């Protein structure tokens, strides 16, 4: 079979694969605890459901403009004003099939083969693959001081004449780290000076803990004209627990949005009308579900960190936001894929190997589930990994006997 070089170079999405494994095991009646997921368990906001139902009941669900229905663009304009104090016009906005597609289409609009795209590591699994899909080169940058917080000097060191764009995701998947205001200010200035696109993936920007407030990249931009290469990406998936609705968006200069819309119009003709209506409901509706999700996640984060701190040898950096905790399990094995497989096989706990995010020896643990899931999940992991654990463990009425170590 002759397949394209680019197609063959693209890895499967590790996180989506884990969802599949969890579903298969659950179907078989296995007592799975899924600490691998990247989606809140709460219900979608009622306003989203009402808005989508109204369109569904009309029976008239048609093509929409490729960049989104006017009502959704207006909702995004209002959102941008509220959260970024930035007034934009409909021509500055493109709705898309999730933040994922917004980032992808943006990269397709700006990259030529061999261009380079810098992003801090650990990084969201899709960035390298998306850049490769454009025939360009991903350049992950590891903070030299070994933390999860990049410094400008780390990025500057990897800058070349091929560098076309920088992607920043803060608070970050997988670490939960929120980058400092100083870093955001510096990176905005650096990209402006060098003429680089700066893609701010703000998909988790309202899911912050310990009283943190979202950082607004526009506050540091000197160029507020239509020449600005700042692109802000966001969506309904995480903040409104609407992952299955697949609606995200990009806000950028008009020329870039026009090119992105042309690309999207040939790829998908734009996102589904039904789901765009749902997104309008969520963005314009009652916002209390976002705060209640945030509070739940903060509580789960506290429980997760406490559990991990009582786990011999595990090092954990307290997440500042999101619903992930990226913990150093290297005392139990440097190969994170093997470690994650071992945990599924022995105690049916699903985690995501750190190597998928660019860092070996780590596991990404999700706090999206219940507190019970967090506590029991980490307890099962402890039992499986700590050689001092008792020989037996009960999961419900199922007895597990340790036949390893």
Shortest gap between Cβ of 103 and ligand PLP (angstroms)?
6
Q: Is 243 in the site for ligand PLP (CB under 6 A)?
A: yes
Q: What is the DSSP letter of 247?
A: -
Of residues 20 through 39, those in contact with ligand PLP by CB under 6 A are: 38
Shortest gap between Cβ of 385 and ligand PLP (angstroms)?
27
Shortest gap between Cβ of 322 and ligand PLP (angstroms)?
8
Task: By CB under 6 A, name the one of 36, 37, 176, 235 that touches ligand PLP.
Answer: 235
Single out the segment in contact with ligand PLP by CB under 6 A; choices: 97-105, 133-141, 275-283, 326-334. Answer: 97-105
Of residues 195 through 234, those in contact with ligand PLP by CB under 6 A are: 201, 203
- Three-state SS at 394: strand
Packing angle, helices 46-58 and 273-284, rounded to 10: 150
Q: What is the DSSP letter of 244?
A: G
Q: Is 124 in the site for ligand PLP (CB under 6 A)?
A: yes
Q: Which two tokens stand for residue 104?
A: 């992808």
Of residues 128 through 187, those in contact with ligand PLP by CB under 6 A are: 169, 173
CB nearest ligand PLP: which residue? 98
**Residue 98 or 321 with smaller CB distance to ligand PLP:** 98
**Residue 116 or 201 with smaller CB distance to ligand PLP:** 201
Shortest gap between Cβ of 386 and ligand PLP (angstroms)?
31
> How many residues line the site for ligand PLP (CB under 6 A)?
13
Close Cβ partners of 227 (under 8 Å, ≥ 6 residues apart): 253
Shortest gap between Cβ of 156 and ligand PLP (angstroms)?
23
Q: Is 245 in the site for ligand PLP (CB under 6 A)?
A: no
Q: What is the DSSP letter of 197?
A: E
**Residue 277 or 346 with smaller CB distance to ligand PLP:** 277
Q: Is 68 in the site for ligand PLP (CB under 6 A)?
A: no
Single out the segment in contact with ligand PLP by CB under 6 A; choices: 96-104, 206-214, 283-291, 351-359. Answer: 96-104
CA dihedral 377, 382, 384, 387 (to 10 degrees): 180
Q: Is 284 in the site for ligand PLP (CB under 6 A)?
A: no
Packing angle, helices 98-110 and 126-133, rounded to 10: 40
Shortest gap between Cβ of 133 and ligand PLP (angstroms)?
15
What pairs with residue 169 in β-bridges?
A: 201
Q: Which two tokens stand for residue 395?
A: 């999961």
What whole-number distance in Å separates Cα of residue 183 and Cα of residue 341?
A: 36
Task: By CB under 6 A, name the one of 34, 86, 100, 229 that touches ligand PLP.
Answer: 100
Shortest gap between Cβ of 129 and ligand PLP (angstroms)?
13
CA distances for 350 relative to 35, 220, 228, 297, 334, angstroms = 5, 40, 42, 19, 18
What whole-number distance in Å separates Cα of residue 378 and Cα of residue 360?
A: 20
What whole-number distance in Å separates Cα of residue 206 and Cα of residue 403?
A: 45
Single out the segment in contact with ligand PLP by CB under 6 A; choices: 20-28, 98-106, 295-303, 360-368. Answer: 98-106
Q: Is 116 in the site for ligand PLP (CB under 6 A)?
A: no
Cβ distance 72 to 226 under 8 Å? no
Q: Is 98 in the site for ligand PLP (CB under 6 A)?
A: yes
Of residues 37 through 56, those in contact with ligand PLP by CB under 6 A are: 38
What pairs with residue 107 in β-bridges?
A: none
The backbone torsions φ and ψ at residue 197, rounded to the nearest 5 degrees and listed phi first, read -70, 140
- Three-state SS at 401: strand
**Residue 191 or 241 with smaller CB distance to ligand PLP:** 241
Close Cβ partners of 291 (under 8 Å, ≥ 6 residues apart): none
End-to-end CA distance of the chain: 44
Site residues (vs ligand PLP, CB under 6 A): 38, 98-100, 124, 169, 173, 201, 203, 235, 237, 243, 248
């Amino acid at each position: 079979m002759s397949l394209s070089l680019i197609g063959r170079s693209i890895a499967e999405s590790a996180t989506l694969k884990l969802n599949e494994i969890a579903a298969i095991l659950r179907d078989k009646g296995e007592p799975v605890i899924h600490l691998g997921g990247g989606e809140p368990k709460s219900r979608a906001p009622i306003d989203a459901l009402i808005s989508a139902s109204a369109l569904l009941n009309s029976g008239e669900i048609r093509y929409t403009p490729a960049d989104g229905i006017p009502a959704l663009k207006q909702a995004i304009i209002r959102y941008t004003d509220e959260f970024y104090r930035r007034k934009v016009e409909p021509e500055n906005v493109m709705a898309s099939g999730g933040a994922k597609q917004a980032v992808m289409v943006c990269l397709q609009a700006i990259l030529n083969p061999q261009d380079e795209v810098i992003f801090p590591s650990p990084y969201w699994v899709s960035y390298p693959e998306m850049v490769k899909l454009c025939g360009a080169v991903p350049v992950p940058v590891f903070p030299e001081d070994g933390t999860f917080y990049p410094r400008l000097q780390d990025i500057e060191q990897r800058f070349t004449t091929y560098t076309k764009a920088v992607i920043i995701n803060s608070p970050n998947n997988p670490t939960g780290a929120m980058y400092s205001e100083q870093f955001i200010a510096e990176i905005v200035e650096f990209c402006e000076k060098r003429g680089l696109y700066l893609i701010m993936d703000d998909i988790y920007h309202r899911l912050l803990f310990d009283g943190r407030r979202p950082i607004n990249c526009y506050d540091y931009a000197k160029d507020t004209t239509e020449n600005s290469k700042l692109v802000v990406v966001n969506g309904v998936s995480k903040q409104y627990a609407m992952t299955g609705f697949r609606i995200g968006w990009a806000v950028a200069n008009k020329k870039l949005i026009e090119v992105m819309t042309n690309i999207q119009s040939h790829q998908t003709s734009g996102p589904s009308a039904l789901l765009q209506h749902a997104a309008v409901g969520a963005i314009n509706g009652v916002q209390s579900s976002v705060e209640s999700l945030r509070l739940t996640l903060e509580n789960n984060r506290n429980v997760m960190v406490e559990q991990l701190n009582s786990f011999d040898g595990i090092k954990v950096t307290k997440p500042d936001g999101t619903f992930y905790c990226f913990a150093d399990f290297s005392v139990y094995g440097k190969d994170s894929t093997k470690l994650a497989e071992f945990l599924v096989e022995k105690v049916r706990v699903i985690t995501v190997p750190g190597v998928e995010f660019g860092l070996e020896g780590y596991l990404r643990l999700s706090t999206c589930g219940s507190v019970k899931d967090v506590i029991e999940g980490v307890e099962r992991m402890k039992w499986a990994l700590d050689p001092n654990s008792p020989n037996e463990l009960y999961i419900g009425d199922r007895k597990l006997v340790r036949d390893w170590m």
